[in-house]
Structure 1
Amino acid sequence: MNSTPFIAVEGPIGVGKTSLAKAIAEHYEFQLLKEIVEENPFLGKFYDNIDEWSFQTEMFFLCNRYKQLEEIQDQYLSKQVPVVSDYHIFKNRIFAGRTLKDRHHHKYMQCFDILTEDMPVPNMIIYMNASLDTLLKRVKQRGRFIEQNMDPAYLEQLAADYDTFMSAFKKQHPEIPVLTFNGDDIDFVAYETDKEKIFSLIDATLKKGEVAK
């Protein structure tokens, strides 16, 4: 695991990952890593027809996230520059498990395992989830055109998949602290006090020595 702080913010679509990662980057003066989303040429088609376009969509995300993490390792972490990311590459497994057919999923996981074998691993995860109503509200507020045809049932199932995955992740990786927040109860964009609560928990985790400073 990296000795330099590398924080990943995770959660389902619309929960506020990028907004929180930006706030953390500004507050702690960390390098910000943002996932490529709208640049994916298959994503709009994916929301129209998941079965038809899931493999292309997930492979694009995998290759781009691999390249981003490789650059983050070479340009920042290897030089002891702290990083905060608005995703963890493990999210690819969640989405692929939900959308890919068996024959595609097997091929995809072979590629995933090869590409992520020596990728930098975050040493703190901030996990946010929320109810479907909250997620839909925030997706609507940010107004991404490619998300307007998203099936609410897909988003609801995705949120449940995240909870299941994170429960398993915490058992499998007890060495990585996971800070969990409920987006129904906390709004760090609207309320400064909520943002300060998050920073306070990050500070406490850093001070415990669980993540190198």
Structure 2
Amino acid sequence: MNIFDRFPYIVVEGPIGSGKSTLAKILADRFGVNFISEKAEKNPFLPKFYEDMKRYALSTQLFFLFQRADQIQKISQIDMFKESTIADFFLEKDPIFAKNNLDEEEFNLYHQIFSHLQLKAPKPDLIIYIQTSIETLEKRIKDRSIDFETDISTEYLEAISESYSQFFHSYDRSPVLILNNENLNILKDKNAIDLLISRIMNIKSNREFFNPQLL
């Protein structure tokens, strides 16, 4: 048995720079399952958004919404009994960013469109929510050297991280493993993934915490 025998549809989530996409891709390759990525780099408004958030917030958010609607449709067409899947996003993250980025009128418009789409995302069998300190997020964003991300402010990272924490504090639709990856370096420590896989296999309740001390 592997983690996808227990949890056929896994979602990895976390703030910008937490390593969610990297972790999801590693697990997909390790177990040979479908990998559905949000592909944030495909959003043409994102670089402009980080330069001028107020001006480009709505266009950025709506592009992501329609992009995720297409991706959710792809996930819905997968037979989870035959093909396991891991994604580096889930639909519920979209309103998290919308509430942070849009003013009241823009959010009302966004919410109307969101409701009109009537999206029905499959419920994840497991969510791995990655928690990372702001200092580490900033370091990892700097290290990966994506030009437009250099404009991301500490205040914005703090707001997004706090919104994630609040969301997952009350989220109960799927089992959640809250992973503190401050000391879990999946790129440099070959034991890190094995340690995480072992922890996933031993999940026994709907909400669990994993705070490994690897350096």
- Contact in 2 for aligned 1:7/1:125 (Cα 8 Å): yes
- Contact in 2 for aligned 1:77/1:83 (Cα 8 Å): no
Q: Which amino acid aligns with 1:123?
A: D
Superposition pairs for residues 97-112 of structure 1, below 5 Å? 97-112=99-114
| Cα displacement (A) at 1:112 | 1.9
How big is each residue's C-alpha offset from its partner over 1:95-136, in whole Å with a ceiling of 9 and x where there is no partner?
A: 001010111111212222343542222121000011111001
Distance 1:143 1:120, change over 3 A: same
Decide which of 182, 185, 199 is 2:183's aligned counterpart: 185
Q: Normalising to structure 2: TM-score of the pair? A: 0.87
1:116 & 1:15 partners in 2: Cα distance? 30
Superposition pairs for residues 76-91 of structure 1, below 5 Å? 76-77=78-79, 80-91=82-93
1:109 & 1:200 partners in 2: Cα distance? 40
- Contact in 1 for aligned 2:134/2:158 (Cα 8 Å): yes
Decide which of 127, 130, 135 is 1:128's aligned counterpart: 130
Higher relative contact order (Cα pairs below 8 Å, separated by 6+ residues):
1
**Structure 1 residue 22 and structure 2 residue 25: aligned?**
yes
Q: Which amino acid aligns with 1:121?
A: K
Q: Which amino acid aligns with 2:47?
A: G
Distance 1:163 1:63, change over 3 A: same
- Identical aligned residues as a percent: 32
| Cα displacement (A) at 1:49 | 1.1
Decide which of 33, 37, 40 is 2:36's aligned counterpart: 33
Number of the residue aligned with 2:98: 96
| Cα displacement (A) at 1:202 | 2.1
2:12 & 2:80 partners in 1: Cα distance? 21
Number of the residue aligned with 2:213: none
Q: Normalising to structure 1: TM-score of the pair? A: 0.87
- Contact in 2 for aligned 1:66/1:116 (Cα 8 Å): no
Superposition pairs for residues 90-169 of structure 1, below 5 Å? 90-169=92-171
Distance 1:200 1:114, change over 3 A: farther
**Structure 1 residue 202 and structure 2 residue 200: aligned?**
yes
- Contact in 2 for aligned 1:38/1:146 (Cα 8 Å): no
2:159 & 2:84 partners in 1: Cα distance? 33
Task: Provide structure 1 residue ranges, at least 5 long, that are not aligned to the other structure.
Answer: none
| Cα displacement (A) at 1:194 | 2.0
Number of the residue aligned with 2:15: 12
Decide which of 57, 75, 89 is 2:60's aligned counterpart: 57
Q: How many residues align?
A: 201
- Contact in 2 for aligned 1:36/1:61 (Cα 8 Å): no
- Contact in 1 for aligned 2:7/2:126 (Cα 8 Å): no
Distance 1:128 1:209, change over 3 A: closer
- Contact in 1 for aligned 2:10/2:125 (Cα 8 Å): yes
Distance 1:4 1:136, change over 3 A: closer
Task: Say what the alpha-carbon RMSD is for the aligned residues.
Answer: 2.0
| Cα displacement (A) at 1:4 | 7.2
